[in-house]
Amino acid sequence: MSEPIALRLEAVAGRIRAAAAACGRHADSVRLVAVAKTFPPEAVRMAAAAGAQDIGENYIQEARDKYAALQPLPLRWHFIGRLQTNKARTAVRIFELIHTVDSVKLGRELDRCAGRIAKLQKVLVQVNVAGEAAKSGVAPEQAPALVRELSRFEHIAVKGLMTLPPFFDDPQRVRPIFAALRQLSERIREAAPAGVEMQELSMGMTGDFEAAIAEGATLVRIGTAIFGERA
């Protein structure tokens, strides 16, 4: 039962190392976030036993239950779903990194909640690179201003950008979107306000993570290749 997850995780780790090597990057410059949405705590436990250290979740309620069930495993939890301001308090309690901040309003609420528990909450700004109507994220043109505004909050640290591109059958078609996120990140970094490091690029999933690594991903969010198809 634990074999498939351990084997799949090892296979994914091998592909990450190979993709990094292929473009002259160090394997440890890419962190694997194992995306566990819809899978039970036991699946996360198996992944952790096989070496996973970073777990991605999309839904606050589900994450809260899993997080509680898995204490005291030393995991880093990543929030990669759509975050409503009324869930900010729970999010701040659980997550090491929140990948999906796309408004000042959400940033303000995260800042307030983080301040209450004396935490510096790390966040990424989600960018809707392809301008899809149904997707969250700020438009690329608005990202620099949002980073600047978030950097004024005392209890938030902006660590970089995240994107969730449109689905393409051919991962090479998504590469220009990954490249655009990297270029945007570089432009923001050059003009970065104090305290903004912009070292993280969260991009790449099961179908396209090698292309994302080739374009500079530092966090790849992989679910299906580790845990299997979601019901």
Residue 16 sits in the site that holds ligand PLP (CB under 6 A):
no
Binding residue (CB under 6 A) for ligand PLP from 34, 43, 146, 164:
164
Q: Environment class of residue 41 by beta-carbon count within 10 Å: exposed (0-12), middle (13-18) or buried (19+)? A: middle
Rounded to a whole number of angstroms, the minimum distance from the CB of residue 191 to ligand PLP is 27
Helix residue ranges per DSSP H, 27-119: 41-49, 60-69, 88-94, 104-116
Mark the segment that binds ligand PLP (CB under 6 A) among 90-98, 101-109, 181-189, 215-223: 215-223
78 to 137, contacts with ligand PLP by CB under 6 A? 80
For position 203 contacting ligand PLP by CB under 6 A, the verdict is: no
Minimum distance of ligand PLP from residue 198's CB (angstroms): 20
User: Does residue number 224 form part of the binding site for ligand PLP (CB under 6 A)?
Assistant: yes
CA 207, 215, 135: angle at the middle one, nearest 5?
55
Instruction: Tell me if residue 23 falls in helix, strand or coil.
Output: coil
Query: Contacting ligand PLP (CB under 6 A), which of 35, 125, 143, 156?
Result: 35
Contact 13, 30 (CB under 8 A): no
43 binding ligand PLP? (CB under 6 A)? no
Burial readout 116-154 (b: 16 or more C-beta within 10 A, e: otherwise): eeeeebbbbbbbbbbeeeebbbbebeebbebbeebbebe
63 binds ligand PLP (CB under 6 A): no
* Residues at the interface with ligand PLP (CB under 6 A): 35, 37, 58, 80, 164, 205-207, 221-224
